[in-house]
């Protein structure tokens, strides 16, 4: 059922959201401005019962059923309240890829729908023992929501909490995000379909994000200290367009997308802060479009305003250089020019963000397997060594795919054998832990 009341602080957020949408995010269609939709024509001549007219867009309001929402009842005090220090301590991270972010199947079965095994405590324990200090847990939420009111399935939330808790028990840092909830194309999207950075979808996107993060903030609050970090979105982007993976500062849709995304990040930060408790000082990571370093370095990207000092983090993904780290077949040798390219990116990220009090973490990075282990080891060592000069933490993307077939190098980012709790390429693990300056127990 619809939640009938919200706290005064959430009411303030909603007022700001309405105002922000009018001021900041230009609309290309005056018929789809904030809080407005086209109504179906009323049928007045027929004696038969008319179909209900299309209802007005309810606006950016809380709609989920709080009576069934999972609520955190724990109590754990923060011991470190600086995002800069937390990112430094996170040192080396790993992504639980293609698991809770998978979108196949239904219910709890989505976890294994992309071919990965069900996550176990033993898997997480094995990561911790190998020297990994941080686990990023990508989660896709929209397909686990009630299609009428955005209520997250309680069993799904419990499963997410279970895995988070296993990591926390190992004294690991955890990044919890909103992953594959970006709508698939630049078109008016249905309700409860996630978000999209465009004016026509701004109202629905903000309603989704408000309801999502309010529920996450209920489930994860006082029971979690600074070891839990929230990440607003994964790779928010213009899916289905020519600008899905790159940013053109002069393109109309790109400019609109950047403006909308700035507001989405602000809305999520405000929502988390409004939940009070430990979330009032929770570390929150925010990406630019596609989480790319180029988008982050563009003038159009703005970090949210936050009353809490030193609590925000910039999230960037780097499969860089593309020709070596991702492209198939691309290049197999890690060269001096590749090193220079990486060095320049880290230096610019430091100048734009770190030096101004916004720590940066690389939420995803990796080099696909091209049967070039020696060069990959060199790449991983150089990548992490350069990033650590600016106290950045790097989180390895792992989708479980590692074995080469038919000279296809596409998306071979498998590193950790989850079933055996071993590493497919121990040389890469050694290079990463050494560059991260981690002492393995």
Which listed residue (206, 226, 231, 235) is catalytic?
Answer: 235
Query: Does residue 51 form part of some domain?
Result: no
**Predicted local confidence at residue 17, as pLDDT:** 41
Euclidean distance between CA atoms 290 and 296, whole angstroms:
9
**Predicted local confidence at residue 407, as pLDDT:** 82
Burial readout 131-159 (b: 16 or more C-beta within 10 A, e: otherwise): bbbbbbbbbbbbbbbeeebbbbbeebbeb
Helical pair 154-169 and 202-219, crossing angle rounded to 10 deg: 60
Do 35 and 203 contact (CB within 8 A), yes or no?
yes
Task: Write the DSSP string, 325-351.
Answer: HT-SSS--S--HHHHHHHHHHHHHHHH
Lowest mean pLDDT among 18-22, 286-290, 328-332, 413-417: 18-22
Q: Residues 308-333: what's their mean pLDDT?
A: 97
Q: Give the chain's mean pLDDT.
A: 89
Strand partners, 362: 316, 394
pLDDT in tens, 369-411: 999 999 999 999 999 999 999 999 999 999 999 999 888 898 9
Three-state DSSP state, 214: helix
Query: Does residue 40 form part of some domain?
Result: no
Which listed residue (111, 206, 231, 364) is catalytic?
Answer: 364
Query: Does residue 50 form part of some domain?
Result: no
**Helix or strand run (H / E) with residue 207:** helix 202-219
Euclidean distance between CA atoms 175 and 284, whole angstroms:
9
Query: Does residue 39 form part of some domain?
Result: no
Query: Does residue 204 form part of some domain?
Result: yes
Euclidean distance between CA atoms 427 and 201, whole angstroms:
46
Three-state DSSP state, 72: coil
Three-state DSSP state, 361: strand
Confidence of residue 422 (pLDDT cuts 50, 70, 90): very high
Comparison of pLDDT for 395 and 31, the residue scoring more: 395
pLDDT in tens, 211-222: 999 999 999 999
Known catalytic residue at 85 = no
CATH code for position 410 = 3.20.20.80
Q: What angle do CA 246, 248, 251 make, to 5 degrees?
A: 130
Burial readout 184-202 (b: 16 or more C-beta within 10 A, e: otherwise): eebeebeebbbbbbbbbbb
């080891």: which residue's tokens?
A: 377
**Predicted local confidence at residue 51, as pLDDT:** 45
H-type alpha helices, 298-423: 322-325, 336-352, 373-388
Query: Does residue 224 form part of some domain?
Result: yes
Checking if the pLDDT of 138 tops 70, the result is yes
Known catalytic residue at 374 = no
Longest dimension (CA), the chain: 79
Overall domain count for the chain:
1
Checking if the pLDDT of 29 tops 70, the result is no
Checking if the pLDDT of 136 tops 60, the result is yes
Checking if the pLDDT of 24 tops 50, the result is no
Q: Residues 417-431: what's their mean pLDDT?
A: 98
Euclidean distance between CA atoms 238 and 36, whole angstroms:
23
Checking if the pLDDT of 33 tops 80, the result is no
Query: Does residue 194 form part of some domain?
Result: yes
Query: Of 8, 17, 82, which Cα lies nearest the Cα of 269?
Result: 17
**Predicted local confidence at residue 438, as pLDDT:** 64
Q: Residues 320-344: what's their mean pLDDT?
A: 97
% pLDDT > 70, the chain = 86
On whether the pTM is more than 0.85, the answer is: yes
Question: Distance between the two ends of the chain, CA-based, in angstroms?
Answer: 50
Q: What angle do CA 27, 31, 36 make, to 5 degrees?
A: 95
**Predicted local confidence at residue 410, as pLDDT:** 87
Query: Does residue 429 form part of some domain?
Result: yes
Checking if the pLDDT of 26 tops 90, the result is no
pLDDT in tens, 291-314: 999 999 999 999 999 999 999 999
Q: Residues 64-83: what's their mean pLDDT?
A: 96
Q: Which domain holds residue 250?
A: 8-30+58-74+85-435
Strand partners, 422: 417
């Amino acid at each position: 059922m619809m939640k009938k009341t919200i706290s005064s602080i959430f009411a303030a957020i909603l007022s700001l959201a309405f105002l922000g949408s009018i001021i900041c995010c230009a609309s290309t269609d005056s018929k789809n401005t904030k809080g407005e939709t086209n109504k179906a024509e009323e049928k007045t001549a027929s004696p038969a019962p008319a179909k209900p007219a299309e209802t007005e867009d309810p606006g950016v309001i809380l709609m989920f059923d709080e009576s069934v929402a999972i609520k955190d009842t724990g109590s754990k005090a923060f011991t470190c309240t600086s995002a800069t220090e937390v990112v430094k301590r996170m040192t080396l991270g790993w992504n639980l890829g293609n698991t809770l972010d998978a979108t196949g199947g239904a219910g709890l079965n989505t976890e294994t729908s992309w071919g990965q095994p069900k996550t176990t405590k033993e898997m997480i324990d094995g990561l911790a023992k190998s020297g990994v200090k941080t686990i990023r847990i990508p989660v896709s939420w929209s397909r686990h929501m009630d299609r009428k009111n955005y209520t997250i399935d309680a069993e799904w939330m419990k499963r997410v909490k279970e895995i988070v808790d296993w990591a926390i028990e190992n004294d690991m840092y955890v990044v919890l995000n909103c992953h594959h909830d970006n709508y698939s194309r630049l078109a008016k999207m249905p309700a409860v379909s996630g978000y999209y950075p465009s004016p026509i979808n701004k109202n629905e996107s903000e309603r989704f994000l408000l309801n999502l993060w309010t529920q996450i903030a209920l489930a994860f609050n006082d029971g979690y200290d600074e070891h839990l970090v929230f990440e607003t979105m994964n790779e928010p982007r213009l899916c289905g367009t020519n600008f899905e993976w790159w940013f053109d500062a002069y393109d109309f849709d790109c400019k609109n997308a950047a403006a909308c995304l700035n507001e989405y990040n602000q809305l999520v930060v405000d929502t988390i802060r409004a939940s009070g408790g430990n979330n009032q000082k929770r570390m929150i990571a925010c990406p630019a479009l596609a989480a790319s370093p180029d988008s982050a370095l563009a003038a159009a990207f703005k970090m949210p305003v936050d009353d809490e000092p030193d609590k925000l983090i910039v999230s960037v993904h780097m499969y860089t250089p593309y020709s070596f780290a991702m492209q198939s077949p691309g290049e197999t040798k890690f060269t001096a020019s590749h090193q220079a390219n990486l060095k320049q990116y880290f230096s610019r990220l430091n100048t734009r963000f770190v030096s101004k009090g916004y720590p940066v973490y690389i939420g995803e990075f990796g080099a696909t397997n091209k049967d070039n282990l020696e060069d990959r080891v060199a790449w991983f060592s150089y990548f992490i060594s350069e990033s650590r000069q600016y106290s950045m933490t790097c989180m390895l993307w792992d989708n479980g795919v590692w074995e080469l077939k038919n000279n296809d190098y596409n998306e071979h980012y498998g590193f950790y054998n989850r079933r055996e709790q071993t590493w497919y390429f121990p040389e890469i693990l050694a290079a990463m832990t050494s560059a991260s300056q981690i002492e393995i127990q």
